[in-house]
Every structure is written in C-alpha cells, then in structure tokens.
Amino acid sequence: MEYAVQRYAVTRPWAKRVGQLYVQAAQVAEARAQMKDVIRRELERAAQVFEIPQAAIGCELALAEAWGHFFRHGRVVSHLDGGLAQALAHTRQPGNLPDTLALPAEAFFLHVPGEGGAFIAHQPERRALLLTMVRMGFAPDGVNWLQAADQVEVARVEYPGELVPQLAAVGAAWQGLLAAVLNGLAMMTQPRLARVKGWEAGAPADWVAAAGHPSCAKTRQRARSQLLKAGFGEITFCRVEDLEAAAAYQNQGYWRRQSFGEDKAHSRLVWVAPR
C-alpha cells in the first residue's frame, strides 16, 4: 500500500469507527470527544499487553483527529507527480502562503513521493491550516502498530502571514517534508498545475475502465464501490507538463509574490521553476 491513509485504515482498530463518528456528527467537537473515548478504551485494552508511552498516545490522538477530518470531507488524496515533486524539492519554500488557497477539499491527504505526506485540515474562519505530517514508511508491513512507534509532527500555519516564525518549533528532521508540503500547497494555486483523477497503481484495469464508463452511471458506481472495498484509493495526480529533468537543474526554483487588485491589496504566488 503506497499511501499512509491506506496503512492507517488497516492498522488502527478504531479507524472505521472514528471515520463514522466524524461523518455522522453535526459538530466536529462532538465527534472529537467521542473519538477520544473510543481510543481511550482501545488503548486501555492494549495496555494490558504492551507498555504504551505517553508520546505514542499523543501521536495516535493527533492522527485520529486528522483521519476524522479526512474522512468527513470525502477521503481526498492528492499525489504530487514524481517529476513535480523533484522540481519542488529544488524550490525554496515560500515565505508566505497566498491570500487565497486552492485546496481540493477542506481536509485531504497530500502525498509526496519519497518523503511521506501530510493530512491537511483547513480552518477557513481562522485562515489557518493544520498539518499532520507522517514520514514515508508509516505503519510498516508485519509490525504491530503499537510496536512500530509511528511518529507524527503537527504544525499550524496561518495565512497569508510570514511562515518562518510560525514553524520555528518544527523539528529539524521534519523540515524536508514540511518544505515539500508547503511547496505543494503553493503549487495548487498555480494555473499551470494539471489535476488528473485516477486510481492508484495496481488497481485492476477492467475495474478502472468500468469506473470511468462513459455512459452508464450504475456501472461507474458499482465499479467504484468494488475498487474502494478492495482497498484501492481514488487519487488526484498533480503534475506540470514540460518540466526539465531534475538532473539538469543548476539553479533553485523560488516563489515570487505578486500584488494585484485595487490598490494592490491582494497578493498571489508565482512559481519560478528550477532550471
């Protein structure tokens, strides 16, 4: 399984229940309280067999909160194309996010090849993003989730404020993934970004073809349900055409802030790709 969200779903015994709570609750606060009760009961049972560090409990609560929002808003996964991910790895992270974001959902998972990914939860009323980052190799095969000691890093970003002081507390080991996530979020505002919906690699070709049937809605619905039940995720692949090969990069890319509107009261980011 390529994506951390899939691994979370099959390794955490409470994943399905937490997802249901967040979908069914009228208020997120209600779902959060119920989620904590569910996890507390599971951890109490697990503590009879394993010693559970306090740090692990904190990580699991943060992951469950992120998972709940992800589930509530449609389980959207955005995957940075390999070429784009390499180009962004050679791009300095923006000093600010733009005034207006272009997110695929109010909560989603952003997958960064080779790095890991992040659950993104948007708080529009506060103009803020909650990032819950997980590294590549999250929930490894054949290892009990309690013994895997999966780590997460949580950061809150307000926009369009300056990013550096907001992220000073993020550990050095997470800075590479953090930069990739911020660059990915900034990239989503760019007109040249192409978003192509598809299914993850390994999904049976005939099922995928049926899920995209041009005329029969029932066939599409049945095939989509079949794919999801089999554990295959529907993915939005993000790519930019005509990028230079990473081996050819001699200069870093960067973000240029551009003012616009009446009295130049608004701003947006313009990506200058690495060369």
Handedness of CA 236, 60, 136, 102 (dihedral sign): positive
So what's the pLDDT on residue 8?
Answer: 93
pLDDT of residue 53: 83
Q: What is the mean pLDDT of the chain?
A: 91
Please compute the mean of the pLDDT values over residues 41-70 and round it to a whole number: 90
Q: Which pLDDT does position 173 carry in this prediction?
A: 94
In tens, the pLDDT along 234-258 reads: 899 999 988 877 777 889 999 999 8
Question: pLDDT higher for 34 or 151?
Answer: 34
Strand partners for 268: 258
Checking if the pLDDT of 19 tops 90, the result is yes
- Please provide residue 97's backbone torsions phi and psi, each rounded to the nearest 5 degrees: -85, 160
Between 201 and 21, the higher pLDDT residue = 21
User: Which pLDDT score, from 0 to 100, does residue 29 have?
Assistant: 96
Average pLDDT over residues 80-87: 94
Per-residue pLDDT, 47: 85
pLDDT at 244: 76
Instruction: Please choose, from the candidates 13, 4, 49, 3, the residue with its C-alpha nearest in 3D space to the C-alpha of residue 152.
Output: 4
Question: Looking at residue 206, what is its pLDDT?
Answer: 95
Which long-range contacts (C-beta less than 8 Å, at least 24 apart) are formed by 11-16? 11/139, 11/145, 11/148, 12/60, 12/63, 12/64, 12/67, 12/145, 13/42, 14/38, 14/39, 14/42, 14/64, 15/67
CA dist., res. 133 & res. 2, Å (int): 16
Write down the domain spans for the chain: 4-193+240-272, 194-239
- Residue 141 pLDDT greater than 90, yes or no: no
User: Which has the higher per-residue pLDDT, 269 or 242?
Assistant: 269
pLDDT at 77 over 80: yes
The proportion of the chain whose per-residue pLDDT surpasses 70, expressed as a percent, equals 100
Q: Percent of the chain beyond pLDDT 90?
A: 70
Mean pLDDT of 44-59: 86
- Please, which residues have CB within 8 angstroms of residue 151's CB and are 6 or more apart in sequence? 59, 134, 135
Give the pLDDT score at 248.
76
**Confidence band for 55, pLDDT divided at 50, 70 and 90:** confident
**160, 96 Cβ separation under 8 angstroms:** yes
Please give the average per-residue pLDDT across 49-71, as a whole number: 91
- Give the side-chain half-sphere CA count within 13 A for 226: 16
Is residue 270 over pLDDT 80?
yes
Q: Is 168's pLDDT higher than 90?
A: yes
Q: Is the pLDDT of residue 149 over 80?
A: no
State the Cα–Cα distance between residues 102 and 78, nearest whole angstrom: 12
DSSP 179-230: HHHHHHHHHTT-TT-EEEEEE-TTS-HHHHHHHT-SS-HHHHHHHHHHHHHT
For residue 1, pLDDT beyond 80? no
Instruction: Judge residue 226's burial from the number of C-beta atoms within 10 Å of its C-beta, 0-12 exposed, 13-18 middle, 19 or more buried.
Output: middle
- Measure Cα distances from 245 to 89, 196, 242 in Å: 13, 21, 9
- In this prediction, residue 48 carries a pLDDT of 87
Is residue 266 over pLDDT 90?
no
Distance in Å from the first CA to the final CA of the chain = 33
Q: What is the mean pLDDT of residues 52-65?
A: 90
